[in-house]
Amino acid sequence: MGNNSTDIPTGRSLGRGRLAGALGILFVLASPLVAGAAGIPIDEARGGIPTLAPILEQRAPGVVQIQVSGTAELRARNGTTQQRQVQGAGSGVIVDAAKGYVLTNHHVIDNASAIRVTLSDGRTLDAILVGSDQATDIAVLKVAAERLTAVPFGEPDQLKVGDFVIAIGNPFGIGQTVTSGIISALGRGGLNIENYENFIQTDASINPGNSGGALIDMTGRLIGINTAILGPGGNIGIGFAVPVDIARAVMDQVVKYGDVKRGLLGVDIEDVAVDQVAKIGSAGALIKMVRAGSAAEKAGLVANDIVVGFNGANIRGANDLRNKVAMTRVGNSVNLTVLRNGRSQTVEAKITETAPTL
């Protein structure tokens, strides 16, 4: 399964790597609707039909097309290398209209020497790369323009399997395209696409060129950045989005510092066993070992502690804790909720050690 996944290829290959594999990544939404409060809007002017149009009219201007050009080193069969001009296409999401910040995928802008952004109103702008993080496949661009529209951040922690979602992007470079579906799974990992994987899986149609585009919920908020698909190069109903809380943590670091510095807690962890989850009433990450001199040791954590909370959010398993720690910049402190001998306590750990570069 692992090697069947790749990132969503951009329109034309920007060099080696992600685009080359057998499968591409993208996604789309299937349909549905909700009325009323936060449901599917009803268009009264057209006979009261349920439609996603009102959400899209509001949010579509926040999703942009991205064209990149750059130089890639191509290796010929005889071992010689050659510099080739390459171009690619992808998608991006404006998340801060005042400052002009655009989220996209790292693999969309990797190797790019020039990045152009086309807004939904047709304006084309040069973009600056603020920073990029390969491990999560998130990059942040900045454009200078008036009258930008941003997509507000949603809360991926509130999502449930079965919720309706909408993807907006630029598949195959054909122009802004909206697709719909549901959330197929949450917390999907083990794909070996990225170093940190906590994907939202969806059956919305995602295709090459959707990379970096928006996955929004029925309230029109951004919940993920569409990043990868399982499939032979086009949609088969299995798409993956980086949850927006991860994208946001990366953005916060690169905007402030220009890079991402991942912290280490210094523990070996595993999922709490199935029969234990029922007993303790919670999923979590079981600490198997605490390394000497680590942040965890200094905070007083010991083997067999179960971490169930991280800065107030529930921990769903070892991968979840690993991802959350990785989103914490070195020098910051975190509050961990820990079960020890059946009793809950909170400890503060100051992250001082930098994770090895991936």
Partner 1 sequence: MCAVGAIARSALQIIGFLVGMVAPAWGAGIPLDETRGVFTLAPVLEAAAPAIVSVVASGVVRSSVRVVGLPKRGQSEGSGVIVDAAKGHILTSHHVVNGATSVAVTLHDGRALEAKVIGGDVATDIAVLRISPADLTAVPLGDPSTLRVGDFVIAIGNPFGLGQSVTSGIVSALGRGGLNAERHEEFIQTDASINPGNSGGALIDTQGRLVGINAAIYGPPNGAMAMGISFAVPIDVARAVMDQLVAYGDIKRGRLGVSAADLAPAQFARFGKVGALIKGVEPGSTAERAGLSVNDVVLAVNGAQIRNARELNNRVSLIRPGGKAVRLSVVRDGRAYTVDVPVTEAQPL
The C-alpha atoms of residue 246 and residue 232 are separated, in whole angstroms, by 27
Pick the binder of partner 1 from 25, 108, 125, 182 (CB under 8 A): 182
Q: Is 164 in the site for partner 1 (CB under 8 A)?
A: yes
Q: Which of residues 271-290 bind partner 1 (CB under 8 A)?
A: 274, 277
3-state helix, strand, coil in the chain (%, to 5): 20, 40, 40
Minimal distance in Å, beta carbon 213 to partner 1? 19
d(CA 338, CA 303): 11
CA distances in angstroms from 292 to 301, 305, 352, listed in the order given: 11, 16, 13
Burial class (CB in 10 A: 0-12, 13-18, 19+), 241: buried
Catalytic positions, please?
107, 137, 211
258 contacts partner 1 (rule: CB under 8 A)? no
Contact between 238 and partner 1 (CB under 8 A)? yes
Using CB under 8 A as the binding rule, the residues of this chain from 38 to 67 that contact partner 1 are: 38-40, 50
By CB under 8 A, is residue 219 in contact with partner 1?
A: yes
Beta-ladder partners of 242: 225
Give the side-chain half-sphere CA count within 13 A for 269. 26
How many Cα atoms within 13 Å fall on the side-chain side of residue 30?
15
| Cα–Cα distance, 5 to 23 (Å, whole number) | 6
Shortest Cβ 236–partner 1 spacing (Å): 4
Asked whether position 32 contacts partner 1 by CB under 8 A, the answer is yes
Nearest-angstrom CA–CA distance, 106 and 211: 9
Report the site for partner 1 in 62-81 (rule: CB under 8 A).
none
Which letter does DSSP use for residue 187 in this model?
E
Closer of 101 and 199 to partner 1 (Cβ) = 199
The single residue listed with the structure tokens 């039909």 is 49
Q: Is 36 in the site for partner 1 (CB under 8 A)?
A: yes
Complex with partner 1: residue 133 or 197, whichever CB lies closer: 197
Which listed range, 145-153, 226-234, 244-252, 287-295, lies at the site for partner 1 (CB under 8 A)? Answer: 226-234
Q: Which of 185, 289, 313, 358 binds partner 1 (CB under 8 A)?
A: 185
The encoded tokens of residue 175 equal 């122009």
Q: How far is the CB of 26 from partner 1 (least distance, A)?
A: 13
Q: Which stretch binds partner 1 (CB under 8 A): 87-95, 137-145, 183-191, 332-340?
A: 183-191
Output the CA angle 185-25-271, nearest 5 degrees.
Answer: 35
Q: Please select the residue that binds partner 1; options are 183, 244, 246, 321, rule is CB under 8 A.
A: 183
Neighbours of 319 (CB within 10 A): 20
Nearest approach in angstroms of CB 250 to partner 1 is 25
DSSP letter (8 states) at residue 356: P
- Nearest approach in angstroms of CB 161 to partner 1 is 5
| Both tokens assigned to 156 | 């991926």
Cα Rg, the chain, nearest whole Å = 21
Nearer to partner 1, 13 or 201 (CB): 201
Q: Report the site for partner 1 in 141-160 (rule: CB under 8 A).
A: 158, 160
Given the complex with partner 1, which of 218 and 267 has the nearer CB atom? 218
Instruction: Decide if 126 contacts 253 (C-beta within 8 A).
Output: no
Q: Which is nearer to partner 1, 167 or 251 (CB)?
A: 167
Q: Which is nearer to partner 1, 30 or 135 (CB)?
A: 30
Contact residues: partner 1, CB under 8 A: 1, 4, 30-40, 50, 158, 160-164, 181-185, 188, 201, 203, 217-219, 230-232, 235-238, 274, 277
